[in-house]
Structure 1
Amino acid sequence: MGWTFGRRRPTTYLLGEVADPYPAQVPEARRGRVRRITEIGEPVLHTPARAVERFSTPELTRLVDDLFATMEVAQGVGLAAPQIGVDLRVFVYDVTDERGDRHVGHVVNPVLTIDESSEAVTDEEGCLSVPGAYVPLARRTAVTVRGVDQHGGPVQLEAQGYFARALTHESQHLDGTLYWDHLSAEDQRDALRQRDEERAGVLAERREIAIELDKKPADYPERPAGGR
């Protein structure tokens, strides 16, 4: 009898359930179109989003597809509907955690519960709506998100570590809260300085990736649309 010792094989979880094998490109991303990512200062990012009331609709399917496609081109790990200008409580995620496991899915009408007894860890965090800026931010390391999928089926995600950070970030987007709102005035200034230096290069890379994926790139204004 032979024995094999080595690292555990990473697992992919789709909406919290094991989904191996799973394609490298999320099927929704293949179908979706690339949208412009809204930027800090635009009202839709700073206003609580509306609850989704109708499920299994073509419009909701297109929204999820477009979110995944836009997130892929921007090389993000999560994206909320207000970040493509839609004021609905929907976000998508594609996160590889510290163990190498991949978490993929979307949540509609999410409710975030933060375990306040869990450790608070400070790590670099960014936001696709503040392109190119990364600043240290403390987040709790254990959260639960409950909601439904686009067809109204129940979703419950228990997250730790980096995955918990991503779910917290995206859930708070739907309340009109950006990671920016948790920062000190000094860190906010630093984030904007980084954004001003890096934005053009980040947007050029998004354009190149869209073309590589045979998708029409999104059009961005020369200066941030939010005015900051």
Structure 2
Amino acid sequence: MKNFYQWIGRGAWVTAAIALAACSPQPSIPSQPPVTSVAAVEYVVITGTPLPTYTPVPTYTPAPDQVQYPDPIQTHMACVDEYFERGYAIWLPDWRQIWILVEPVVAPGQIEIGGELIGPTAEPQVMIIGGPWYRFTNDFAPGTDIDQDPKLTPPPGMQQPKGGIGKIWRSNPELQAALGWARDWERPFKTFINSYAIGVLGKGEGFAQTGRILTFYASDGQQYYIHEEAGVWSRP
């Protein structure tokens, strides 16, 4: 019982302390003066090196379409050709043309490329890899034009050309001297002629054709290239 009364007594004291504290005056909070002005805010501007001006990437320009280039032209036809001592001739009936390819005789020291002599160094030499090319209209009239000239006698093993090729050969003394005599009679065969456009490609202007390259095969399978505008021929 004693402990019980002690506990009650302690509780009474605590209650009295709380009541006394509630009755005590509290300290007053000082009032703040009213705001009459706002201090100016100072901003700091940070300076530095400006970024470089943006340069746009150039627009891609595609390569010219292949349709700008003329397509190769291939022509099949029956022909007649003939080899000479220093050249070759072919008759193209569908075009009424005769082509003459001369193998020129080159004198010593006559051909030089890049400071290097590629021609003969001692005696004249026949260039069999290329030379001048001539194109003639075949106006031979059978029954009216003579087929051969009986006054001309070829050396043994050689022939005097006949027909349209023979007429051109006899009518051009310089060409006759350049070609020499025919090595055999004319040979009929079939071939095809390819024609390729050549030129320059201008910026934004497309393809400008300046000429054509012609290729064909002879009766013996030899391939020839003709540069039409330059008037020259070559072979691989």
Do Structure 1 and Structure 2 share a fold, with TM-score over 0.5? no
Normalized per residue, the structure richer in strand is 2
Q: Which has the larger radius of gyration?
A: 2
Higher relative contact order (CA 8 A, sep 6+): 1
TM interval, shorter chain, is under 0.3
Normalized per residue, the structure richer in helix is 1
